[in-house]
Amino acid sequence: MKRIGIFFLLAFSTNLVLGGDSFRPSRQKYIEEHKFDAIRDMKKTGIPASITLAQACLESQDGMSNLAREANNHFGIKCSNWNGASYIQDDDTKDECFRKYNSTLESYDDHSLFLLTRPRYAALFQLEITDYKGWAKGLKKAGYATDPNYADRLIKIIEDNQLYQYDKMQEGDLVASQNNDIPIMRSTEDRVYVPSVTVVDAFQTRKIQSINGVDYVVAKKGEDFKSIAQELKLGYWQLPKYNEMSDGTPLEDGQIVYIKPKKNEGNESVYIVKPGDTVLNIAQACGIKSKFIYKYNDLKEGAALEAGQQLFLKKYKGPRS
């Protein structure tokens, strides 16, 4: 009987430190140490903080894996298209090559860049930033990991540790704690990491504005999607997709260019069509995807609009007069 008791005590202790995706002291410590970095990456890239943290917890074993401790690699990213230092360890096959970083923060930066610049992850950036389940399933579908339960494991980590709360945090919430545990900001331009207690504008000279909660910049004369994407460190595919235009569409001076996915609903319920309006320019003016304007108003794609016509910008939720 005594042996059985010892066995269960050891099993319970092992589960706290190593097992499953349930609550673990080491996990809580890891989340506290890195939540500010995940939130700031979310504000800069549109990747939910909950997803970044859950992936880091899972892939790095809460910072305790050999890959994390010896190579600062917290997301299990391999050496494909990589010119930097490397770390060799067995994974799906023997002696696989993984990226090696100078710091944990550099690993977080590269994870964001990895998702932003791979077209197979493009559909994820059309999801709402609070849709952590959609992101988790999308990552699995896009082939981020071979584990068939990868999405479920991410979702469990998020829900067990309430990581979804960080997806709703605003820049004003990113304040250093009173114990001088100052969050670390970093410059993606030259990978120089400097302490700061203020939120750094990731886009520097470019003023970021928003419509319907969607961030945008204003195009300058002579710019195109490619030049703006390069300046903002975004994937080339993102801007045309977010703005529902082809790659080569010329931009006019003063034109709105969204740098985040537009919403599924408008801020206002109704829009009154003005002379010359099209569904696309209404979608751009209101920060809503054009396909939902067609859907909410039972319009066929390309349908002509009439001045004075009333268009619904939100899903039907009851009688409309």
142-162 confidence digits (pLDDT tens) = 999 888 999 999 999 999 999
DSSP alpha helices (H): ranges in 83-199?
104-117, 132-141, 150-160
pTM: 0.54
Cβ pair 106, 129 in contact under 8 A: no
Average pLDDT over residues 195-205: 38
Render pLDDT for 210-234 as a digit per residue (tens, 0 to 9): 888 888 888 888 899 988 888 888 8
> What pLDDT, on a 0 to 100 scale, did the predictor assign at position 297?
93
> What pLDDT, on a 0 to 100 scale, did the predictor assign at position 317?
58
> What pLDDT, on a 0 to 100 scale, did the predictor assign at position 25?
65
Average pLDDT over residues 79-83: 83
Cβ pair 303, 230 in contact under 8 A: no
Cβ pair 242, 283 in contact under 8 A: no
Q: How many angstroms from the chain centroid is the CA of residue 5?
A: 45
State which of 13-22, 65-74, 86-95, 167-176 shows the largest mean pLDDT.
Answer: 65-74
Reply yes or no on whether the pLDDT at 114 is more than 80.
yes
Count of Cβ atoms closer than 10 Å to residue 169 Cβ:
17
Selected residue with higher pLDDT from 305 and 180: 305
C-alpha 168/C-alpha 166 separation (Å) is 5
Cβ pair 104, 75 in contact under 8 A: no
Render pLDDT for 184-197 as a digit per residue (tens, 0 to 9): 333 333 333 333 33
Q: Residue 85's closest CA among 71, 74, 66?
A: 71
User: What is the pairing mode between strands 256-258 and 214-218?
Assistant: antiparallel
DSSP state of 78: B
Question: Among the listed ranges 26-40, 49-63, 163-177, 304-318, which one has the minimum average pLDDT value?
Answer: 163-177
Which residues fall within 8 angstroms of residue 278, CB to CB, at 6 or more apart? 305
Render pLDDT for 12-66 as a digit per residue (tens, 0 to 9): 444 443 344 444 668 999 999 999 889 888 888 889 999 999 999 999 999 999 9
Cβ pair 217, 203 in contact under 8 A: yes
> What pLDDT, on a 0 to 100 scale, did the predictor assign at position 73?
94
C-alpha 291/C-alpha 23 separation (Å) is 42
DSSP state of 207: P
User: What is the pairing mode between strands 192-195 and 184-187?
Assistant: antiparallel
**How does residue 208 score in pLDDT terms, banded at 50, 70 and 90?**
confident
Count of Cβ atoms closer than 10 Å to residue 273 Cβ:
16
Q: Indicate the SS3 state at residue 6.
A: helix
> What pLDDT, on a 0 to 100 scale, did the predictor assign at position 146?
86
> What pLDDT, on a 0 to 100 scale, did the predictor assign at position 48?
94
Q: Is the dihedral of CA 55, 58, 62, 68 positive or negative?
A: negative
Q: How far apart are the first and last CA of the chain?
A: 75
Go through the chain and tell me how many residues it has.
321
> What pLDDT, on a 0 to 100 scale, did the predictor assign at position 121?
87
| Exposure string over 61-82, b if 16+ CB within 10 A, otherwise e | bbbebebbeebbbbbbbebeee
List residues bridging with 87 in a β-sheet. 98
Q: Indicate the SS3 state at residue 294.
A: helix
> What pLDDT, on a 0 to 100 scale, did the predictor assign at position 244?
93
Mean pLDDT computed over every residue of the chain = 80
Reply yes or no on whether the pLDDT at 98 is more than 80.
yes
Q: How many CA atoms lie within 13 A of 66 on its CB side?
A: 6
> What pLDDT, on a 0 to 100 scale, did the predictor assign at position 105?
87
C-alpha 107/C-alpha 56 separation (Å) is 10
Cα pseudo-dihedral 102, 57, 80, 202, rounded to 10: -60
> And the tokens for 99?
């990226």
